[in-house]
Chains A and B, each alone.
Chain A
Amino acid sequence: MSRTSVGRAATTIAIAVAATMTTACGGGGGDAGDGRVRLSVGVFSDFGYDRLLEEYQAAHPGVEVEQRKVKMEQHHTQLATQLAGGRGAADVVAIEEGNIAQFRQSKDRFVNLADYGAKDLASQWAPWKWNQGTTDDGDFVLGLGTDMGSLAICYRRDLFEAAGLPADRDAVGALWPTWADFQATADRFTAATPNVKFVDAAQNVYKAVLDQTEEGYFAKDDSYIADRNPKVADAFGLAASLGEKRQTSALTPFSQDWNVALKQASFATTTCPAWALALIKAGAGDEAAGKWDVATAPGGGGNWGGSFLAVPRQGGHPREAYELAKWLTAPEQQKRIFKETGNLPSEPAAYQDPEVTSTVNEYFNQAPVGRIFGDSAENLKPTYRGSKDSKVTPVFNNALNRVETGKQSTSDSLAQALREARDAVK
Chain B
Amino acid sequence: MTVAPARRGTGTRRPVPPPHTGRPSWRDRLGRLDTRFTPYLIVAPFFVVFGVFGLYPLLSTAWMSLHDWQLIDGAQAFVGLDNFRELLADRNFWNALGNTLSLFLLSTVPQLVAALGLAALLDRGLRGRAFWRAGVLLPNVISVAAVALVFAQLYGRDFGIVNHLLGLVGVDPVDWRAETWASHLAISSMVMWRWTGYNALIYLAAMQSVPKDMYESALLDGASRWRVFWSITVPGIRPTILFTVIVSTIGGMQLFVEPQLFDPGGTATGTGGTDRQFQTLVMYLYEKGFRLFDAGYSSAIAWVLFLLILVVALVNFTLTRRIASKG
Contacts and interface: CB of A to CB of B under 8 A. Distances in A.
Contacts of A424: 292
B72 A251 contact: no
Nearest to A416: B275
Interface stretch (B9-17, B148-156, B200-208): B148-156
Nearest to B42: A9
The secondary structure that dominates the B interface is helix
Contacts of B216: none
A405 B41 CA distance: 60
A17 B72 contact: no
B264 A255 contact: yes
A6 B42 CA distance: 9
Contact of B290 (A72, A81, A256, A394): A81
Given A16-B48, A249-B158, A402 B38 contact: no
A175 interface: no
Interface in B21-42: 30-31, 33-34, 38, 41-42
B267 A74 contact: yes
Given A16-B48, A17-B48, A256-B149, A402 B293 contact: no
Interface stretch (A257-265, A321-329, A377-385): A257-265
Nearest to B273: A398
Given A249-B158, A257-B157, A260-B159, A2 B30 contact: yes
B74 interface: yes
B34 A2 contact: yes
Interface in A61-83: 72-74, 77, 80-81, 83
Nearest to A14: B45
A252 B267 contact: no
A5 B31 CA distance: 11
A150 B149 CA distance: 32
Contacts, number: 113
A9 B292 CA distance: 45
A3 interface: yes
Contacts of A20: 48-49, 52-53
Given A256-B149, A394-B265, A13 B290 contact: no
A302 B74 CA distance: 36
A397 B158 CA distance: 20
A248 interface: no
Contacts of B318: none
A84 interface: yes
A18 to B, nearest CB: 11
Interface stretch (A102-110, A218-226, A232-240, A290-298): A102-110
Contacts of A81: 71, 290
A399 to B, nearest CB: 7
B72 A109 contact: yes
A102 B292 CA distance: 10
A12 B45 contact: yes
Contact of A394 (B74, B178, B271): B271
Interface string A264-295: 10100000000000000000000000000000
B266 interface: yes
B42 A12 contact: yes
A251 B41 contact: no
B146 interface: no
Contact of A10 (B41, B158, B295): B41
Nearest to B51: A20
A407 interface: yes
Interface residues on B, range: 35 or more
A422 interface: no
Given A2-B34, A3-B30, A252-B264, A77 B290 contact: yes
A106 B71 CA distance: 10
Interface residues of A, number: 49
Interface string A330-363: 0000000000000000000000000000000000
Nearest to A108: B73
Most chain A CB atoms below 10 A, which of B30, B72, B153, B271:
B72
Interface string A383-419: 0000000110110011101100101100000000000
A6 B149 CA distance: 49
Contacts of A72: 268
Most chain B CB atoms below 10 A, which of A9, A74, A391, A402:
A9
A258 B153 CA distance: 11
A105 B274 CA distance: 28
A246 to B, nearest CB: 13
B44 interface: yes
Contacts of B149: 256
B133 to A, nearest CB: 33
Nearest to B159: A260
Contact of B265 (A3, A255, A402): A255
A106 B274 contact: no
Nearest to B153: A256
Contacts of A6: 30, 33-34, 38, 41
B321 interface: no
A408 B31 CA distance: 76
A5 B178 contact: no
Given A6-B34, A10-B41, A13-B48, A77 B72 contact: no
A102 B45 CA distance: 41
A102 B293 contact: yes
B274 A398 contact: yes
Interface in B88-118: none
A266 B290 CA distance: 34
B291 interface: yes
Nearest to A391: B292
Given A13-B48, A407-B274, 6 more contacts: A2-B34, A20-B53, A106-B73, A255-B265, A391-B292, A424-B292
10 contacts: A10-B41, A16-B45, A17-B48, A77-B290, A80-B72, A83-B72, A256-B149, A256-B152, A397-B269, A405-B274
Nearest 3 CB-CB pairings of A with B: A73-B268, A252-B264, A16-B45
Interface of B: 30-31, 33-34, 38, 41-42, 44-45, 48-49, 52-53, 71-74, 149, 152-153, 156-159, 175, 178, 264-269, 271, 274-275, 290-293, 295
